[in-house]
Structure 1
């Protein structure tokens, strides 16, 4: 029988593959396509059973999920802590300024290193963290303007409408499969999408500071700030 999250991700992959985007977007990367093998391994290994907490990011970063197929997928954390490494091919239209190197990528994604580093420090081994937690991205696509990252909130309304329809349907399926007590937005934008999509379900919606190096607050000690937010909201205890 097909894993429910794998089936949902395959449907999302195919739905967003059919979409088209205009300037300033020059390239669109869909890691659910070219990095399907590690993404599927992540879902099958860590996405089974009920989860107490689902953390929701916005979309892939250029040196994280874009390379590894895993949300916030900093290469070394995925390889060493999660024990996942699989073949990554190339997107159909690759920007020379943002090559896909897969697990050979030598760049470390700061957001992913901070996020997974906190969980590794607090929970020790990956299996302990994933027993009650799961991390997903709302949108699976990365958008580039040449070599610059374009976040989904910067797209036109005409282009976000079909994109959000596909992503909303996937998020709903994911949450219904995992039955979490909490959906926690990593950043305000993800929190708002969670409220819009699953706010009617019997769960709580929270938020933690995004670990991006573009955030001055995150650069002043993201792990400490995020831990405090997890504790204050009652997502984590003690």
Structure 2
């Protein structure tokens, strides 16, 4: 395949993924959430330019899809990038730009974009492992891509993060309809060999959405890098690398 053809295929993929992400963005914006949720952020709104730059990292040669749950307050909430640790996004991926504001900002969770001084531990661990193994982002994205299942950040009055699996059944079902559709579209973009859930929630989403035919991608899971997990605090990078080797990805 010529370099020009590959480049054209990449651009087509980027357009398709941008269209899918914007459908997700508009769909979830129509949803409402009751207490204890008091604030909801959608980075696909105010950090769209950075998210679009992230999408443009995707290569048509990628065959490993890693799926996270939803944005963290100091990661994707700031950068529009899944597990979006500031240093990884700005200094490693080379993504730059300003982010907008949210209409109702929680005082404990300000949106500062790439100027945010807080660190997203999960993102630092995940992207740190990828940087250590691949050195250059192009080498990583040639084979892998990372997406989040849900684009929304949910916060309680205290500023505490609430994950999608903790939503009431009715709200969770309405959200799932939009997120499942987007995930299905992402899976259909490329002939993935591996669908990897970063944590059990993401793995279950993949099992629910993915085709179960004999030619379907292998579905597996790696440990989530959250500092709330005691196992992740005991050498997450070593555990995740070992799991990816066992699965056959590395």
Normalised by the size of structure 1, how large is the TM-score?
0.96
Unmatched tracts of structure 1, length 5 or more = none
What does 1:119-158 align with in structure 2 at a 5 Å threshold? 119-146=130-157, 147-158=159-170
1:228 aligned onto 2:242: yes
CA offsets per residue over residues 34-55 of structure 1, 9 Å max, x none? 11010011102x1241421000
Partner of 2:192: 180
Per the alignment, residue 217 of structure 2 pairs with: 203
d(CA) in 2 for partners of 1:111, 1:19: 27
Deviating runs (4+, > 6 A) in structure 1? Answer: none
Supply the distance in 1 between the matched residues of 2:174 and 2:191 (Cα, whole angstroms).
26
CA distance in 1, matches of 2:249, 2:61: 16
Q: Which sections of structure 2, spanning at least 5 residues, go unmatched?
A: 1-11
SS at 1:218 equivalent: coil
Deviations 1:184-228 (A, max 9, x none): 000011000110011425111010000001111110100000001
Whether the aligned pair in 2 keeps the contact of 1:12 and 1:167 (CA below 8 Å) is yes
Q: Following the alignment from structure 1 to structure 2, what is the Cα–Cα distance between the partners of residues 104 and 31?
A: 15
Which residue, 73, 90, 102 being the options, matches 1:62?
Answer: 73
Q: In structure 1, what is the Cα distance between the partners aligned to 2:183 and 2:152? A: 14
Distance in structure 1 (CA, Å) of the matches to 2:127 and 2:210: 25
Rounded to whole Å, the distance in 2 between the matches of 1:92 and 1:18 is 15
Q: For 1:48 and 1:22, how far apart are their aligned partners in 2?
A: 39
Matched, 1:17 2:36: no
Alignment of 1:153-168 (within 5 A): 153-168=165-180
Alignment of 1:80 with 2:91, yes or no, is yes
Q: Secondary structure at the match of 1:27?
A: strand
Whether the 8 Å CA contact 1:25–1:143 is kept in 2: the answer is: yes
Cα contact 1:199–1:205 (8 A) shared by 2:
no
Q: CA deviation at 1:233?
A: 1.3
Q: Where does residue 226 of structure 2 map in the other structure?
A: 212
| CA apart distance, 1:92 | 1.5
TM-score when normalising by structure 2: 0.92
Equivalence for 1:105: 116
Aligned length: 235
Aligned equivalent of 2:20: 8
From 30, 44, 50, give the equivalent of 1:38.
Answer: 50
Counterpart CA distance in 2 for 1:87 and 1:13 is 19
Give me the CA root mean square deviation.
Answer: 1.1
